[in-house]
Amino acid sequence: MPGLTDQQKLDEVVRVLTLEQLEVNLFRGESRDIGGKQVFGGQVLGQALSAAHRTVDNRSVHSLHAYFLRPGDMQAPIVYEVDQQLEGSSFSNRRVVAIQHGKPILNLACSFQKHEEGLCHQRPMPDVPHYSTLTDQSEETLDGADQLPPKTRRFLFETRPFNFRWVQKPQLKDPQVQEPVRQLWFKASGILPDDPILHRAMLAYASDYGLLTTSLLPHKVTLFTENLQLASLDHAMFFHRDFRIDDWLLYSLESPIAIGGRGLSRGQVFNQQGDLVASVNQEGLIRLWD
């Protein structure tokens, strides 16, 4: 969607995450073309979480686990079927199946909890440069970006509803062997309503950015690698505190292992005060074809 303002790009994502209710526990969502060959995994994850939220009152999601089963078709709507598996005194559990062309493309299990106080501790936020000292990711700031395929450039620069400021500049051309650790600051590119449910769905959407590619860093493999196949396999998130995704957040990423054609990446999301607001785990397919 070239030519749109940053706020319009963000409003488009909010619209995509606002599902149409077809029947009790049944919802339908449309897809947003961001330049890939298939539906962006973060979109399906955010929509599935939005569908589950529509069946819960006065409780916030604290964890989710999703399996990506099939690529999504951007030209067809996605139907989300919610199974209300538990409605307890403190917790609610939901199972969501995303369906296209009669087949499931994603399974999601998520749990919701009413607010309560308890013991509290966390590891400190990494000591990294402040976002104000960094520049937004753009075609001008990334070496070799002009040589990427048009759809990849569109995904990275034109249709993003988020601003990214990398602590370690991504290497697209002539990569060197790096430790599988990196950080970036990010925020929504406009203003969002005061709706904690929406902010969590938006973080689920954004959490897919940069996560899987962290496991490529030790192997001198990038988006330029022609025989590379990448795909998300499963995605887990834990929400610890309320936050605003239209304020700057730090995403601290690491990949402890890659083996058997799969890479495991972990992420922690901090607010500017150093509070850990969410944790993310993802395993993805990393296949280099002969």
Is 70 exceeded by the pLDDT of residue 142? no
Task: Quick: pLDDT tens for 76-111.
Answer: 999 999 999 999 999 999 999 999 999 999 999 999
Active-site residue (options: 47, 111, 208, 255): 208
Is 80 exceeded by the pLDDT of residue 171? no
Q: In this structure, what DSSP letter does residue 157 have?
A: I
Can 111 be counted among the known catalytic residues? no
Can 143 be counted among the known catalytic residues? no
- Section 8-20 average pLDDT: 92
Per-residue pLDDT band for 188 (boundaries 50, 70, 90) equals very high
Helix residue ranges per DSSP H, 26-172: 41-53, 150-153
Q: How far apart are CA 138 and CA 8, in angstroms?
A: 18
And the tokens for 198? Answer: 């929406």
Task: Quick: pLDDT tens for 107-137.
Answer: 999 999 999 999 999 999 999 999 999 988 7
Angle at 76 between CA 70 and CA 77, to 5 degrees: 95
The domain 6-115+131-288: what is its CATH number? 2.40.160.210
The closest of 15, 237, 273, 271 to 110, measured between CA atoms, is: 237
Farthest-apart Cα atoms in the chain, separation? 56
pLDDT value of position 143: 62
Which long-range contacts link 203-206 to residues 24+ away (Cβ below 8 Å)? 203/237, 203/239, 203/243, 203/245, 203/269, 203/278, 204/42, 204/45, 204/46, 204/49, 204/64, 204/237, 205/13, 205/17, 205/42, 205/43, 205/45, 205/46, 206/42, 206/162, 206/245
Active-site residue (options: 137, 215, 252, 282): 282
Active-site residue (options: 31, 100, 232, 265): 232
Q: How far apart are CA 7 and CA 239, in angstroms?
A: 25
And the tokens for 122? Answer: 């966390």
Per-residue pLDDT band for 210 (boundaries 50, 70, 90) equals confident
Strand partners for 103:
100
pLDDT value of position 138: 60
And the tokens for 221? Answer: 């493999």
Is 90 exceeded by the pLDDT of residue 34? no
Can 232 be counted among the known catalytic residues? yes
The closest of 20, 27, 15 to 82, measured between CA atoms, is: 27
pLDDT value of position 241: 96
The closest of 91, 6, 96 to 48, measured between CA atoms, is: 96
Q: In this structure, what DSSP letter does residue 12 have?
A: H
Strand partners for 262:
259, 285
Which residues have CB under 8 Å from 139's CB, separation 6+?
A: 145, 146, 153, 156, 157
CB distance 32 to 40 below 8 Å: yes
